[in-house]
Each structure stands twice: as structure tokens, then as C-alpha cells.
A and B are shown apart, each in its own frame.
Chain A
Amino acid sequence: MNERTLKGPQRWLVQAVLTLGAIALVTPLYWMLATSLKETGKEWLLPPQWIPSPFAFENYPAALTSLPFIYFFRNTIAIVVLATLGTLWTSTMAGFAFARLRFPLRNTLFACVLGTMMLPHVVTLIPTFLLFKSLGWLNTLLPLIVPYWFGGTAFSIFLSRQYFMGVPLELDEAARVDGASNYRIYFAIMLPLAGPLLAALTIFSVLQHWNDFMGPLIYVNSMQMRTLALGLRSFQGTMQTNFNLMMAAATVTVAPVIVLFFAAQRFFMRGVLLTGLAGR
């Protein structure tokens, strides 16, 4: 760690700016939570109730039963788990090959990975949609899962390669002398050493799929196949004026992310430090 130590008035100035900034950034989330606990009608009071009174906990069951949230949860969790598994497996394998194995065109192909990272995805959106449509995958979760079994994201391959480049070469050389195959080296030597990488990839992937909106919007139609993000949007249509219920539903989609953050806080920072750059 390399932090600056400040003295005197400078320190107080920084402290004050940070406090104001933190208040400004946390207030919207607090406002969401506070509104979600206000009785119907009380969210419109001026001056506003900063602390709801009484706490209207009944908003939560009311919000969650007004739409089939149980399906939204089921679908979101299915996508998050299956897409993350695909990303973990296929991108670490590709990252290992790019970092450790010598094969023709390796650098050119890795340049393609980097190029994909900078590609605006809308350029592939329509043909990809047509492809999944012709496969009969519309209104299923498959278009939101299967692509991640084909290398995860370019970013996840980049991160994996970066990580494996940092593992000492002697380890796989020793195993190779003992006759271990490349697959064995990947599976039995590299993966067990890749805990921080797997943690970082998992966090980024879970967030990406939990938060994804455009994907479900395009591929999924019926209420039963919607995800939380898309379901929340349907809420906007049916509950336009019930801001307390809408905020209750929003809180339900935000809360797991915040829990994940606190549970995995140290992996977040380490995941970013992995590359010195990454993190999104």
C-alpha cells in the first residue's frame, strides 16, 4: 500500500470533501430504501419523511406478489449460475493456452481477443438475434447463457491470461518432465493456484448477468421468462405512480449485489489489482 499522509488543514479539507461525496453517493440508495418503506401516499409528503413512520414492511410482499417475481428470481439465478460456469471454464482454459502453450498464430489470435474487448457489441446484435431466432431460442434463456460457454467474455480471457503469465514457469516445466499432459497441467496445477482469478471472474460475471438488461429485453418475451432487471422494468409500466412499491422492488434487486460486495470485498480489490487495469 502506498498512501499519502496529510497533515493539518489539508487533512480536514480532504475529510470534508470525502464526507460530502459519500453522503451524495449514498443518499440515492438511502432514498430508495426509505421510499420503499413508506405507506402509500406518504412518499408524496412535503417536506419529506426522512425516516418512514410507520415502517410499511407490507410494501415488500405487495410489490413481490404484484408480478411473478419468483420466476424473475429463478430465471436470473439460472442465467447467473450457468453463464458464470461457462465463463470460468472456457475463459480460464483459453487464458491458460494463450499464456503457456506455443501454437501457430497465437499472438494474432490473442490480438483478436483484445480487439473484441473494444468492439461495440451492437454491431453483432442483429445477426446474433437472427441466429438465435432461427435456432428457435427466442423466449428461452439459452441466448443469455450459451454464448458464455464459448470463451466467456474477451475481458475474462484477457484477465485469465494475465493471471497465468504471473505463475512461475518452473511449476509446469516440472510437471511436464514428469510426463503430465497440458490438460493435466491446466486442471491439476494451474486451476488450484487460480483462486483469486476465479473469485474475480465470478464476481464480474455475476454482476454482469445480474445487471444485464438489453439481453433479456431482446431475447425474452413472456412474463415467466423475464429476469429481475427486465421484470423491474415491467413494474414501471404497471405501477407507474406507486413509487413506494417500485422502490421496494428495486431494493430487492439491489440488495443481493450489496451483500455480494460486502461478502467478497477483498476479492474485488484484488481482482482489479490483478491486471492493474481491469474491473468493470
Chain B
Amino acid sequence: MSSVTATVVARRRGRSLLWREKVDGFVMIAPWLIGFVVLTVGPMLVSAGLAFTNYDILTPPKFTGTANLERLFADDLFYKSLRNTAIYTFLGVPLHVSVALLAAMLLNTKVAGQAFYRTAFYMPSMTPPVANALVWLWIYNPDFGLANIVLNAAHLPAQKWLWDKDMAIPSLILMSLWALGSQMITFLAGLQNVPPQLHEAAAIDGATALQRFRHITLPMLSPIILFNLIVALIGSFQVFTTAYIATNGGPENATLFFVLYLYRNGFEFFKMGYASALAWVLFLIVLVFTLIQFRLSKRWVYYEGDLKKG
């Protein structure tokens, strides 16, 4: 009798514990959940709605149907900013990821002064982007900047850097390359997880360094490469601060990037409806490219314990 009661009590207690766990789970994620609804999902829907209105903040939004979209597709600066952003992204991101990987591989060797090198490579990725942009604005100064002093010492012709419409984007890419540290350190962390036995076994079998890189290092790092590519692509599509400070979109709109154009429409011209339409276009572009990367990744990303490919 008493054992039956005990079981019932235990079961009831167990059930109430499960119930508690459900309640507590929701209580503990509540701050995030509220933030997610109020600061992410809600604003996304609102901006989708605003995209179909004319809204200057002072007067209530007016529904204008697809007028914003029609204007967008006839807007030269929209295409220009899209093009600039695409060039910046598709030149910069692969370069960024490969240089960061190369740096990580070099830093993963036993060399004298390893700690110093790691610090030197990592540091520029932490310093404030505004300060970075000002420093590079000074370095790129066509008359007195360090960049031309270096070119001059190498007997190369001086450049106008950010002030030349063909050089401006490459100059900004070079500048962003300076901050390769955050990607580099994730690669470094990944390299340290590659079991050394794999390399040893392959070396005994006569694999060259290049073959080992191709068939061991790259597959083992592929999840991190994918992660870095996605993060870099999303970040690069949203490039803003460096261009806002260093070039403010110039010369001749050569560095008018998408988010800079969006910012101007929203916060300088107070065209909140048009800016919202731009924001959704960017969101869709980023979404498509992220999905493409995930889809393509099935062909080249190797996950440990993935037997099909193992």
C-alpha cells in the first residue's frame, strides 16, 4: 500500500517537475524571446510594410503600393551601390578568407617569437573601425601618406588611393585585409584540432605537403571555412563604417555601398519607406547567397563522423 502511494507521489512529483521545467525554461528564455519578438521579428514585418509606403517621420506613412519598388528599379544609385557592394564583396571575401587561412597555417608552426607574431596579426582586428579608418585615411594621403612613401621607396609611381575612383574599392579591401585577425584566429583554433596522426600517416605513405594540405587540412577545416565565408559575406554586404568615414561614398560614388545609400535615404533624406524597401532587398540578397552557400557546402564541407563521405 505504502509503496503504491510512494509511486503515485513520485509520479505526481515527477510530472510536476516536468511541468516546472517547461515553465522555468520559458521564464529563462523570456528576455531573449521578448527581444526576439519586439526587436527582430516585429521590426522585420514593420519594415516589410513600410517598404510599400511613403514615410518622412513627420507625417503619417502613406500607402503607395509598389511605387518604391518601381523607383528602386529605375534608380541609378541603387544599381551603382549594389554593384560597388558586389565588387567589394566578391573580390574582398575570398581574398580575406584565403589570406587569413594562410596566416593561420604559418602561425601554426613552431617558430621563434610565435606569441609575438600571433599578437601582431590579431591586434588590428580588435581596434575600433573608426580609428582604423582615420589611420588609413592618413596612410592613404596622396601627398604625405605612408602608402606613397613606401611606393616611392620602391620606385613605384605614387597613387591617389581613396581619391581615385578606380583605386578606391581596392584600397578599402586592402584596408579591410588589415583586420584579418578574427578569421585567422578561428582557423588557428581549427588547425589545432586536426589530429597530427593524419599528417604523420599520410607523410609515411609518401604524400607531399601540397597533397596533405589538399586532402587533410582543407577537408578538416572545411566547416570553419564555410562559417567564415558566411560571416564574411554577411558582414561585407553591410560594409558601412569604413566607407562612411574614409570616403563618404566618393569619389564620384565609387564607394557608395548599399548600406551607406540606405543610411542616407533613411537618416539624411528621411525617406523611411524607400530605405525600408532597400533594407528588404539587401535582406533577400543575403538570404539567397547564404542559402546558396549552404547548398554548395554539401559538396565540399566535410563533417567528422559523416560516414557517407568518410
Contact = CB atoms under 8 A, between A and B. Distances in A.
A120 B110 contact: no
Nearest to B246: A236
Interface in A63-101: 90-91, 93-94, 96-98, 101
A268 B121 CA distance: 14
Main secondary structure of the interface of B (DSSP, over half): helix
A118 B234 contact: yes
Given A94-B31, A250-B135, A29 B111 contact: no
Interface size class of chain A, counting residues whose CB lies under 8 Å from the partner chain: 35 or more
Interface in B103-122: 103, 106-112, 116-117, 119-122
B138 interface: yes
A28 B109 contact: no
B36 A126 contact: no
Contacts of A19: 117
A35 B138 CA distance: 10
A207 B126 contact: yes
Interface stretch (A53-61, A146-154, A193-201): A146-154
A127 B50 CA distance: 9
A123 B57 CA distance: 18
A120 B36 contact: no
Contacts of B240: 214
B162 interface: no
Interface string B191-226: 111111001000000000000000000000001100
Contacts of B9: none
Interface residues of B, number: 100
B106 A18 contact: yes
B186 A279 contact: yes
Interface string A117-155: 011111111111111010000000000000101111000
Interface string B158-193: 000000000000000000001000100110111111
A119 B284 CA distance: 10
Interface of B: 17-18, 20-26, 28-29, 31-36, 38-40, 42-44, 46-47, 50, 57, 103, 106-112, 116-117, 119-124, 126-132, 134-139, 141, 144, 146, 149, 178, 182, 185-186, 188-196, 199, 223-224, 227, 230-231, 234, 237-238, 240-241, 244-245, 259, 262-263, 266-267, 272, 275-276, 279-280, 282-283, 286, 290
Give me the 10 closest cross-chain CB pairs, A-B, nearest first: A150-B35, A151-B32, A103-B25, A127-B43, A124-B43, A127-B46, A97-B28, A101-B25, A22-B120, A182-B24
